[in-house]
Amino acid sequence: MVTLLLCMRAYDRYSYETEAQARRTRSTRQTRTHPMMRPSHRRPLATTALAALLFTGAQARADDIPPLLPLPASMTLVAGHLRIPATLPVTTDNVAPAQSDILLETLHSRSGPTLVAAPASRATGTPATPTLHFRLLPADPSAPAESYDLTVTPTGVTIIAHDQVGLYYGAVTLAQLLSSPTKTIPALRIRDQPRLRWRGMMVDSSRHFQTPDDIRTMIDAMGRLKLNVLHWHLTDDQGWRIEIRRYPELTRIGAWRHAPDSGPNGDGAPYGGFYTQDQIREIVAYAEARNITIVPELDMPGHAQAAIAAYPEIGSGGTPTQVSTVMGIHPYLYNTDDRTFTFIENVLTEVLELFPSRFIHLGGDEAVKEQWRSSPSVQARMRALGVRDEEALQSWFIERLGTWLASHDRRLIGWDEILKGGLPPSASVMSWHGVKGAVAAAEAGHDAVMAPSSSLYFDYLQTNRDEEPAGGRYPIESLATVYQFDPLPPGTTPQVQQHILGVEGALWTEYFTSGASVLHAAFPRASALAEIAWTPRPLQKWDSFLHRLPAEMRRESEHGVPVADGAFAVTLQATPSDTPGRITLTLSNQANTGLIRYTLDGTEPDQTAPLYRVPLQAPAGVTLTAIPFDKAGHPLATPTRRVITPDLADQRTGSSFIACPGGKLSVRVPATPDAIVPATPDAIAPSPYLTIDRNHDCVAIPVTSLYGTKSLAVDLIPMSRFFGTPQDDPSDTRAATGPGSALPPNTLAVRTTDEPDTVIGSAPLPIGPLGKPLHLVVPITAQGAHALILDSPESPGRPYYGFESVTIIR
């Protein structure tokens, strides 16, 4: 027998020992397996000194580890295997019928065995007729919550837990094992429990509305990864999405917006939607059956424009408004009158009837205080309360509602801005400005959830590939960025860590117009989130995760989830070649893994295609097709296909654009006429993509050779400001700033970064319909090697200009 130990002191390498050696080693150094390996001493993983994976068997290798995700807390492989039968009898012990149905549903798959209920007498099978047995034990205070034991032998599978949640997670793990393409499962013992209590995803249904089926699809996918909190962002400036029967105008008015170009044809059609209370009850019950708690969010005192549009008397501005048709930070705040608190409490009363969640999220973020400063009634309230400033008033506002929630046996949670005026005693904090807010709250004895935008905002772009099939915000937040984040920051004390409930990934939907695009942005980054939330930190190894992830991506795809493969997909970089008539092609992928195979004749590569090793020298006119494969020969991503044109090496696209000096690239959006509202509900808009700096129309190109250059061919498209401006109002005018302000309006100028005040070329921007591509040829006078700036002066009422490509013409 061979033993493979992976422990905290040496988890960067595998060490092989004979069984005799292992016994001698244990006698001298007192090797300790994870406490969950010992039923008599079960403690939470966070308090253990050693977390271990133990594998025993004649041919124990890294490849023998089943592709489970998240990786269990402890797993032992032993000799033998279970051959997955065509029909698998299932027995249960102390499991309610409704729970049994969910367990069977969790295990069902098109490629798995047929599951049939069997009498308890069939609990012990034989190699010819293996069985699956679920056993719910009595509650045990010493057993970690949500834990389970799973044993696979040649005669069947047994899953044991002390709570129904643990039994469900055992079924989730077994479902992954049953998906084995070899139709076998190695004999093993898993003892598992989560690292963190809060393992969440936030879905924004205000900016773009997802159907109830979209939400259920998200819930299913979360359940398959042992994620357990769906934070549902239901109200904001752009839409109120929850039916409140006492206040029907919230959905009659607040759920719909009417931007001039909101419809696919710019026809001003209403856009929006809302969830009825019956739909919400059904979704909540659906989530509860999969052990997912839905935490509703009703944002206040800011992000309230849709509510104020429906009921102007609750606002602070003194004038009516409409549901916002643009993104950004808006000034509309609830006022602080008693009648407004009555309104909010009445709304919350109906919310509490729909959502049994202990936590209720009340936002608290980005509340601009101008209206409060100019409101006589708000200022009078401040004087009466004796509060020092508007930030302290927000603290009072939040605490008043927190006290009301506490009187109804609920707990308030809000974004970390609620720290500014002094943290209300009843509040918990969700930290999106890095981790400091969560740590500060935890140090003060408050519970906190980690949700930093720098690591866990899934509306940021996953890769910088031109072929990335969904828009999003800059900067890039890769799969590795998510996986490398530790929700329990190193150096924090156990006292602080006990108040960090967990971690959450956020899906804001300014630029995701369909349920499919939301899912595409979430997965597989949600798989990385699941592992950092569930698996002990010493066992979180990037190479191991990459090895197991493709199987999980295939499982999600089989369930209809449009999983992004950009981390594995091949990226092409074309540069000039020293060989006349040739272009140098460099192939890579973001994850830096897999075997890249390619063809140059337009056919799709297979295992016989050439293996990429060094940059290629290819002639113009051929079609490069490249696919990454794993060691077993399974493709890791869809093909990358590109026609090699003569000017490809001189073309710059979104993947190579950088921000102009003093600027900031904001978003990349699809350049289709229906980019705001797709023609079909589940459409993911195709390329080409446009790169936009929302503060002024400008992109820069890194240093490039201009020797022999006569002009630049610039492809760009005028885009609507709908969901684009950082300002509040569609009539907003952005001031002309920078060197470009000296040029006539509607002019595109080219400069260099070393002489930014000197225009080396310019061309007029034709005034045409939104969404119509523009192709400009801009003669330039500079030679040499320069970084280029392409920009246009701002003028009132103009559209955005999204840049698609810039090609050097020699």
Q: Which residue has the tokens 């109120």?
A: 240
Token code pair at residue 692? 């936009």
> Quick one: how far is CA 224 from the chain centroid?
16
Residues in CB range of 403: below 8 A, 6 or more apart:
426
Of 146, 236, 261, 399, the catalytic one is 236
Q: Which residue has the tokens 């109200």?
A: 235
- In whole angstroms, what is the distance from residue 118 CA to residue 210 CA? 40
* C-alpha distance from residue 296 to each of 186, 478, 522, 538, 761 (Å): 42, 28, 19, 33, 53
Is 233:303 a contact under the CB 8 Å cutoff?
A: no
Q: In what order do the strands lie in the sheet with 747-752?
A: 698-705, 785-791, 747-752, 761-764
Torsion sign across C-alpha atoms 33, 37, 40, 41:
positive
Q: Is 389 a known active-site residue? A: no
Of 233, 303, 520, 696, the catalytic one is 303
Q: Which residue has the tokens 């090697």?
A: 785
Does the bond joining 301 to the residue before it have cis omega, within 30 degrees of 0?
yes
How many Å from the N-terminal Cα to the C-terminal Cα in the chain?
68
Does the bond joining 536 to the residue before it have cis omega, within 30 degrees of 0?
no
- Length of the chain counted residue by residue: 810
- In whole angstroms, what is the distance from residue 167 CA to residue 149 CA? 9
Of 288, 366, 486, 729, the catalytic one is 366
Cβ atoms < 10 Å from Cβ of 217: 21
Helix (H, G, I), strand (E, B) or coil at 201: strand
φ/ψ of residue 295, rounded to 5: -100, 110
Return the amino acid letter for 457. Y
b vs e for 376-396, b when ≥16 Cβ sit within 10 Å of the residue's Cβ? eebeebbeeeebeebbbbbbb
Cβ atoms < 10 Å from Cβ of 78: 18
Residues in CB range of 123: below 8 A, 6 or more apart:
91, 93, 131, 133
* C-alpha distance from residue 533 to each of 192, 345, 485 (Å): 13, 34, 10
Query: What are the DSSP calls for 386-401, one per residue?
Result: T-SSHHHHHHHHHHHH
- In whole angstroms, what is the distance from residue 594 CA to residue 468 CA? 19
Q: Is 236 a known active-site residue? A: yes
φ/ψ of residue 668, rounded to 5: -120, 125
What are the residues facing 504 on neighbouring strands? Answer: 200
Q: Is 213 a known active-site residue? A: no
Residues in CB range of 801: below 8 A, 6 or more apart:
692, 697, 716, 717, 718, 719, 748, 765, 792
Does the bond joining 66 to the residue before it have cis omega, within 30 degrees of 0?
no
Would you tell me the crossing angle of helices 277-289 and 212-223 to the nearest 10 degrees? 10
- In whole angstroms, what is the distance from residue 551 CA to residue 314 CA? 52
Token code pair at residue 626? 């490249």
With CA atoms as reference, report the closest residue to 653 among 766, 572, 532, 740. 572
What are the residues facing 132 on neighbouring strands? Answer: 90, 157
Name the pairing type of β-strands 616-619 and 582-588: antiparallel
φ/ψ of residue 651, rounded to 5: -100, 135
With CA atoms as reference, report the closest residue to 508 among 366, 360, 353. 366
Token code pair at residue 155? 């005669």
Return the amino acid letter for 101. D
Tell me which residues are annotated as active site. Answer: 236, 303, 366
